[in-house]
Structure 1
């Protein structure tokens, strides 16, 4: 089974509409829609914005539905000149840029308890997603995707995240989903279409290109589901 999590309805609503034999259940205020797409079992959820909602959703999905892999899809701000609006970032790993115990001598982003900074995504899942992106002819990069409970709209913050983590994109959920998957030994990957520049122009770009970028990500996921069953 493939688990797919988006923070907002616009990020997965097209996939929900594709579901056949759909069944829904609401747990902790989050609706999970289970069914098939291209004859593959899929469970979809809109988690809500931010790391706490994302973690609750991922943990519940794992315990209730036991997916083989979870993909976090949606939109993100670019942190590299090689990605612009409409392009796609795919995670080699994820990190949380707002995790900060540097005052205790830890490096930025250090996750106490699992004692790492960057959580590795599943390589096989990433490669299949990349193959799908190539087939669609969309520009992409793979690398670190950083998460934090902050909409990135400052060049100063953007520069700090790039300096500390070498990240290619920033958003608000993937790092938490990656951490939950890591501690549960579940494969995961984050795929994000670029909706804004994550600098002073971020808000304007975000609302203008949100739906367009989200649909680009959906197109990749749709192809991924189909190809994963071949």
Structure 2
């Protein structure tokens, strides 16, 4: 009998996954210092291990490491939540699935080129194509079916991570100049991707635009997350409802 898909799910804040865990059954919780890992099941098809990491690369990497170490059966690690728009065409509620991530504050020059992660010798990290294609297809199908009402048509692109909440247009433009394909900026995703890569676990980074990474970003962000908490789980559920088509099940 095929074992259920085991999804590791991380967000920086409860609002980015939805703090109400009533949609899961067989809930349990373990404490790891100040980090709580919640475990449960969604139907008979999916097991979930989830945690809220806190903001920033160190907190995200710590949570990812703890989560993966807590159960070696995790099939896929997903980091989800909100992000600032770097691409000027993006608006609030736009959904961006990362086809690549970069740590925009990683700079070990002259030993390595800018953005290169020394441990992996890569400037950008890409999710495994099979998992990315599954998630991209699932999100588009969910949107077409009306399961993501209120969210915009999902798209994909480069997401940049750094330990800075970007609300300065000049800073954002400097990043755009260095990374012409940049679509969104946030503070955790690429750190989680690095941990997953080094641990040999597939990963995805899924973001919803909350603000324009501009002078109004702080207020836009605060207002948006209050609304987003009520909708966040729907984005996760869009993937869970299509879990029978994952690379794991099709292998």
TM normalised by structure 2 equals: 0.85
**Aligned twin of 1:208:** 223
| 1:36-75 mapped onto 2 (5 Å cutoff) | 36-39=41-44, 40-66=46-72, 67-75=74-82
**What is the CA-CA distance between 1:10 and the residue it aligns to?**
0.8
How many Å separate the matches in 2 of 1:217 and 1:133? 13
Gaps of 5+ in 2: 1-5, 145-151, 246-251
1:157 aligns with 2:171: yes
**Aligned twin of 2:3:** none
**Aligned twin of 2:116:** 110
Q: Deviations over 1:15-56 (max 9, x none)?
A: 633110001001132101111013211111001111101001
Report how many aligned residue pairs link the two structures.
229
**What is the CA-CA distance between 1:215 and the residue it aligns to?**
4.7
Q: Which one of the candidate residues 150, 161, 170 is aligned to 1:147?
A: 161
**Aligned twin of 1:191:** 206
More helix by share: 1
Q: Deviations over 1:111-145 (max 9, x none)?
A: 11211110111323322332333222532321111
How many Å separate the matches in 2 of 1:86 and 1:42? 25
TM normalised by structure 1 equals: 0.93
Larger radius of gyration: 2
User: Tell me, what secondary structure is at the counterpart of 1:200?
Assistant: coil
**What is the CA-CA distance between 1:229 and the residue it aligns to?**
3.3
Check whether the contact 2:50–2:67 (CA below 8 A) recurs between aligned residues: no
User: Tell me, what secondary structure is at the counterpart of 2:194?
Assistant: helix
